Amino acid sequence: MNTTMIAMAIAALLALGLVINVAVISLLSGSFHFLFARPRIEFLKSEFGDHGFAFSFTWNSSREPAKFDKVKVRLFNPFGSPTQVEVSKEFSGASSDFARDVYMGSGMKKLLEANGLGNATIEVEVSSTKDNIVQMFDFKATKFLEKLNEARETVKEFEGSLPAPEGKPLYQTVTRSFIADPLPESAKTIKLASNPEFAGEFSSGGGGGETQENFAVSKVWIEPGCIVCNACEAIYPEVFEVTEDTCLIRPEAPLDNGLLIQEAAEACPVEVIKFNQVG
Ligand code: SF4
């Protein structure tokens, strides 16, 4: 009895320890993300002077995929004048770390030249209009102006320091070229007439010759030695498939047009196409 109780107590302690471990790990990972993976905005030097707002924006795009394309700068100045100014502009969207120099117009100048900014705050919103995601950054107005004035790096300079974006994957297309060996000596003459419909027109020197009857084959195969010249596939692609280094017979190849198979065999410069005629 006592042994069972002790075993149960140990099991309960172990389970409790496991729960505590899991809780601590998730807490730590959450804190880590909060501290180090939060979106960041840095101020850059705008080429539009006091009419522009240049900034870089970095975030964990794999964790939060979005295309950010809008920036809003909002002044809350309850004890000064004007008490509130808001300017926003859309820009060409970006799906990973980016920098933009956005022309904000005269509203930005008005915001920057507001009076009594001692207790004012400035809110910067970077948002994705399509994905409905907003990232907000709050600054004391004086700090905001200080950071703007201290900004030395332009957007172009910042972009030069970003890692190059991954290029699109390149798919290589196979180009087949070769210089064929001289054709083997053969007494064979290539037959021009193959289409039974016109065979009579061309055979025996043209016009009025005998038409060769079509036939079926029971088997067609390629012997070793193919030089991948493509001739057979050009003649009868339903049967022959020329690959990188040889020629194959397609699995469902029709075998009822023996004349065309014969033509391909006769066109093969190394005579590796073989077939058995039915009957
Ligand atoms: S014609 Fe002959 S050598 Fe040319 S690809 Fe076909 S099987 Fe190969």
Could you tell me the two tokens for 90? 């859309």
Q: How far apart are CA 61 and CA 164, in angstroms?
A: 15
Could you tell me the two tokens for 224? 């070793």
Quote the pLDDT of residue 207: 46
Distance in Å, CA 225 to ligand 1 centroid: 9
Which residues lie with the beta carbon below 6 Å from any ligand 1 atom? 222, 226-232, 240, 242, 247, 268-270, 272-273
Q: How do residues 45-87 score in pLDDT, each as one tens digit?
A: 998 889 999 999 998 888 888 899 999 999 999 998 999 999 9
Quote the pLDDT of residue 3: 76
Quote the pLDDT of residue 62: 81
Quote the pLDDT of residue 140: 94
The separation between CA 248 and the C-alpha centre of its own chain, rounded to angstroms, equals 33
The whole-model pTM stands at 0.47
Q: What is the position in ligand 1's atom list of the atom closest to the CA of 267?
A: 1
Those residues whose C-beta lies under 8 Å from the C-beta of residue 73, and which sit 6 or more positions away, are 53, 86, 87, 88, 104, 108, 111, 122, 123, 124, 125
Distance in Å, CA 213 to ligand 1 centroid: 25
Quote the pLDDT of residue 205: 47
Distance in Å, CA 220 to ligand 1 centroid: 13
Q: Which residue has the CA at smallest separation from atom 1 of ligand 1?
A: 268
Q: What DSSP assignment string belongs to 69-83?
A: EEEEEEEE-TTSBSS
Domains in the chain: boundaries: 40-161, 196-277
> What number of H helices and E strands is found in the chain?
7, 11
In the CATH scheme, what architecture does the domain 40-161 have?
Answer: Sandwich (2.60)
Distance in Å, CA 252 to ligand 1 centroid: 19
Q: How far apart are CA 202 and CA 211, in angstroms?
A: 9
Q: What is the position in ligand 1's atom list of the atom closest to the CA of 230?
A: 5
Q: Which stretches of the chain drop beneath a pLDDT of 70?
A: 1, 22-37, 162-211
The CATH T-level fold of domain 196-277 is: Alpha-Beta Plaits (3.30.70)
SS3 39: coil
From the list 108, 110, 109, 90, the residue with the least C-alpha distance to 100 is 90
Distance in Å, CA 204 to ligand 1 centroid: 27
Give Dmax (Cα) for the chain: 112
